[in-house]
Amino acid sequence: MSYNTREPRESNQVVFGTRAVIEAIRSGKEIESLYIQRGIGGELLNELRALLHEYNITAQQVPVEKLNRITMKNHQGVIAFISPIIYQKIEDIIPAVYEKGEVPLILVLDSITDVRNMGAIARTAECSGVHAIVVPAKGSAQINPDAIKTSAGALYKIPVCRHDNFMQTVKFLQESGLQLVCCTEKTQEYIYKPDYTVPTAIVMGSEEDGVRNDIIRIADHLAKIPMYGEIESLNVSVATGIILYEAIRQRLGPQTP
């Protein structure tokens, strides 16, 4: 299910040069990442910094060697990557889902940094009817051509919502009537206990750190996937598929042969 209304871009575009990046931002391009050389200044760069503040865009200060590895052309110490997708706001998605008479199912990805995991998760989420994916602005995988390819194009179809204040966004989901179900090993309850037929946001954490403690503390349910082998964890994209399809199983209800 998609709430996108604009045509997707085919791949990440690299824009370099201070004036070019300024114009890209002013024209409404979605900035995936922005790098500025450490120690540089000037009137034009001050104009760029003011624009970043106005549009709430985060830039990374990096050594010139990193910029030169991206391009040896005259980048003037500024390089931006334009996202191949248009990020949306979860505050717009939730009311739209309710207005359609549907029960929201939102996937929250806490610090999933591997682009192929992101792509695989998006593919499963789109197939299972997830209404939107929510990610933090910092510490999340880039939506780049590798992610798009791994998702089999699903990232063009499912809304992705990227927010700076991640905790505030998670709390907004609760305030909008969604239960928070955190998939974590820090519980004795299995993923089969929560009732997913009600409005739900499923939270998945990184394989290294799991779901952050601030979210675990406010969650309505903590749920883990039963494990019987010697390996202690699943790939996060596989784990996401397991819990999503438990939600779908419940939402489908009893099925006749």
**What is the pLDDT, as a whole number, of residue 166?**
94
The answer, as to whether pTM is greater than 0.85, is: no
pLDDT of the residue at 10: 41
- Position 78 scores a pLDDT of 95
The order of strands in the sheet holding 78-82 is 13-16, 78-82, 31-37, 60-62
Per the prediction, the chain carries an average pLDDT of 90
Q: Report the pLDDT value the prediction gives residue 231, as an integer from 0 to 100.
A: 79
Q: Give the model's pLDDT for residue 160.
A: 96
Residue 115's SS3 state is: helix
Length of the chain (residues): 257
Please tell me the predicted confidence (pLDDT) of residue 138.
84
**Regions of the chain with pLDDT less than 70:** 1-12, 255-257
Q: What is the structure's pLDDT at 242?
A: 97
pLDDT at residue 12 in the model: 55
Q: Tell which phi-psi region holds residue 153, choosing left (phi > 0), alpha (psi between -120 and 50) or beta.
A: left
State how far the Cα of 205 lies from the Cα of 183, in Å rounded to an integer: 8
pLDDT of residue 180: 98
Quick one: pLDDT at residue 4? Answer: 45
The reported pLDDT for the residue numbered 5 is 38
For residue 209, the model assigns a pLDDT of 87
Domains of the chain: 13-82 (3.30.1330.30), 90-252 (3.40.1280.10)
Angle, CA 211 vertex, CA 220 and CA 240 arms, to 5° = 85
